[in-house]
Structure 1
Amino acid sequence: MSTAIDTQQVQLPAPGTWTIDPGHAEVGFVGRHFGLTKVRGRFTGVEGTVTVREPLDLSEVNVVIDMASVASGNPARDEHLRSEDFFDAERHPQATFRSTGVFTTGTEARMTGDLTIKGVTRPVTLAAEYLGHATDPWGAERAVFSAAGTINREDWGLTWNMALEAGGLLVSKEIRLEIEVELVRDDGSDQD
């Protein structure tokens, strides 16, 4: 059980626009193979912004995921995930998440939003946590967040599966999302 930290003792991110650092962002997923083995994957192509507002509950999150960037550690599985059986990355190259509500308690939050995969949009709820901030060696302000939640992949038309002879399915319907992002504060200057 996690405990919320008193916001009076924690310096939360300053209001403004914070951009996801793609080199320090991971949108991961965990499913089960044969209903037993955890299979992990991630998307390496992640972009987006977090607009921090006061109060924090008015903040917004917008994320775009490159579906062809899926990586599970197995090239054949990755190609299958990109195919029409799953993400159909050729016809649906991006998935998006747009927050619809942020409900904060200390450094923890419940975030609701619309997740679009393969052109299908469904609501999701994620448990989010602010992990802290730092100034990098080049003077940029950074903030780190983590989020997680569970979805039923079939709600987005990701229905490919195989029935097992002993019963059950080859690939679990329930998928755990695990998100880690490092954000860089937009200083408002025009950079070329």
Structure 2
Amino acid sequence: MSENTAPTREVGGVPLPAAGVWKVDAGHTEVGFVGRHFMLTKVRGRFTSVDATVEVGERPEDSKVTAVIEMKSVDSGDQTRDDHLRSADFFDVEKYPKATFTSTSVAWQGTAGTMTGDLTIKDVTRPVTLKVDYLGYARDPWDNDRAVFSASGKVNREDWGLTWNMALEAGGILVSKEIELSLDLETIRQV
């Protein structure tokens, strides 16, 4: 392959994906979150419908990400909890069916960095910073070039108006305000 068509390249001595557009493969991607119930138990959830694009820049710090999340696709493994998350108490998916993320800046060194972007939930936009790692490249059996990334961060859900809660008799609250975000993104290079 010529240098222009190679799916990876070396930047600063480390292999990174080639500059260009890489589309998220929703079937091999997880946009997850973890909250605490009774301030003790970790409760995990994920969104199963995500459309996202990674534009890898010639310089890694020029890279951009855009994502649209279908909020009704929330799945925490419990139908009653999922219905509550979809209700007006939380995501209000009838009124606000989508959440979006648009990156605004990237700092990068080697195979890791940070990405800051605007996360919009329920028409409220707040900045979020994620730690990002490039995990590697693979060519699948159908000749698609794939680049894999992971990202993580923490947010206060109340910053987006997700304020429903219950006080506990012994003190504390039922649902944590701090939510951990965990993303595993498998992308396919677009030609």
Shift of 1:7: 4.8
Query: Aligned match of 1:46 in 35, 47, 50?
Result: 50
Shift of 1:164: 0.3
CA deviation string 1:91-139 (max 9, x = no partner)? 1110000000010010001100000001100001000000001111000
Query: What is the distance in 2 between the residues matched to 1:185 and 1:174?
Result: 34
Q: Secondary structure at the match of 2:158?
A: helix
| AA aligned opposite 2:101 | F
Identity of aligned residues (%): 64
> Are the aligned partners of 1:145 and 1:182 in contact in 2 as well (CA < 8 Å)?
yes
> Are the aligned partners of 1:53 and 1:59 in contact in 2 as well (CA < 8 Å)?
yes
Alignment of 1:26-175 (within 5 A): 26-175=30-179
- Partner of residue 7, structure 2: none
The two structures have a TM-score, normalised by structure 1, of 0.93
| AA aligned opposite 1:112 | T
Shift of 1:10: 3.2
Query: What is the distance in 2 between the residues matched to 1:159 and 1:134?
Result: 42
Q: Secondary structure at the match of 2:82?
A: helix
- Partner of residue 14, structure 1: 18
Shift of 1:156: 0.1
Q: Secondary structure at the match of 1:11?
A: strand
**Alpha carbon RMSD of aligned pairs, Å?**
1.0
- Partner of residue 190, structure 1: none
- Partner of residue 185, structure 1: 189
> Are the aligned partners of 1:7 and 1:107 in contact in 2 as well (CA < 8 Å)?
no
Q: Secondary structure at the match of 1:32?
A: strand
The two structures have a TM-score, normalised by structure 2, of 0.93
In the alignment, structure 1 segments of 5+ residues that lack a partner are 1-5, 188-192
In the alignment, structure 2 segments of 5+ residues that lack a partner are 1-9
